[in-house]
Amino acid sequence: MGTLGRVALGRARVSVMKRWLIAAMAAVLSAVGVFAAPTNTLESLVKLWRSGKVDQALEATSTALKEEPNNARLLSLRAQMRLMTGQRAGAEQDLTAAMDLEPESAWLRQERAQVRFRLGKVEESVQDFDKAVELAPRLLPQNWQRGIALYYVGRFADGRKQFEVHQGVNPQDVENAAWHFLCTAREKGVTNARNVLIQVERDGRVPMKEIQQLFAGKATTLDVLQVAAKADNEADRKEQQFYAHLYLGLYFEATGSLKERDDHIREAAKLADPDNYMGAVARVHAQRLKLTFTPTKP
């Protein structure tokens, strides 16, 4: 779900895609004002980061912060760099420090919410998501990440409403329909959830069509897995199988088939791309179920 959540990095595509992610994140930061009227130092650091030299940029940003420890923009920048290099605890620390300096920043609150979810701090992430949309209601329609977090803390009615709002800005996403179903099923039962299943016609990703039909009661587990196994290359096959196992596991959780749930969530966690937000969802789910798994090699 969401552009960044869908990215799968095949070996041949890693460097290109990471440069794209860096550029995209820098554009987002600029749009929300984090880089507004940048200092020369900040401007040079962003330029270095955009060039793809993340480790060098991270080191230079840390050096700059020694001279300006109370610079919220530098802290925000380093948090993004740390997140991209797998240093999630460090990213959380930087965002917390930046929030101490700018407590009314909805963007910082939203970013820390996502980092905390990745760290498995789901309850704390929900507090941040809720505060972010309170500070900036304009964030609510796009905030599918909040809806997923609400599911995991058992606020199913609030999660259902979040996905209904998100449907207005993202109407052709099977994943949104699936999470709406999951929240409704836990709140009102599977039959009611199926009766109000959001119809999606134009999500061309494999195996989303079969997942939609599964949730509608018109396809089987085998249908989903067979389609997911068909791909032109191993990277695409791994991504397709990840999504198949994730949503099969979630479906079986909704229908009360817990052994099947555990089997598919474990498999999804093994296949998950750690840079992918939905990959983090699978691994957080597995951790909350205390499932053991060995990640597959990239």
Structure tokens at 116: 């905390």
pLDDT confidence of residue 43: 84
Task: Pick the closest to residue 77 from 31, 42, 101 (CA basis).
Answer: 42
Give the global pTM. Answer: 0.87
The reported pLDDT for the residue numbered 145 is 98
Give the three-state DSSP class for 277.
Answer: helix
Instruction: Name the burial class of residue 39, with classes exposed (0-12), middle (13-18) and buried (19+) by CB atoms within 10 angstroms of its CB.
Output: middle
Place of tokens 């940003």: 61
Cα separation, 213 vs 208, in Å, equals 9
Q: How is 91-159 classified by DSSP, letter by letter?
A: HHHHHHHHHHH-TT-HHHHHHHHHHHHHTT-HHHHHHHHHHHHHH-GGGTTT-HHHHHHHHHTT-HHHH
Please give the torsion angle defined by the CA atoms of residues 168, 174, 176 and 182, in that order, rounded to the nearest 10 degrees: 140
Report the pLDDT value the prediction gives residue 219, as an integer from 0 to 100. 98
Query: Across the chain, which distance is largest between two alpha carbons, in Å?
Result: 61
CA distance 55 to 84: 10
Per-residue confidence in pLDDT tens, the chain, 298 aa: 753 343 333 333 334 444 434 444 544 444 444 444 345 788 889 888 888 888 999 999 999 999 999 999 999 999 999 998 999 999 999 999 999 999 999 999 999 999 999 999 999 999 999 999 999 999 999 999 999 999 999 999 999 999 999 999 999 999 999 999 999 999 999 999 999 999 999 999 999 999 999 999 999 999 999 999 999 999 999 999 999 999 999 999 999 999 999 999 999 999 999 889 999 999 999 999 999 999 987 6
What pLDDT is attached to residue 54?
A: 86
Residue 2's pLDDT is 52
List the structure tokens of 66. 């020694």
Q: Provide the b/e sequence for 187-220 (b: ≥16 CB within 10 Å).
A: beebeebeeebbebeebeebbbbbbbbbbeeebe
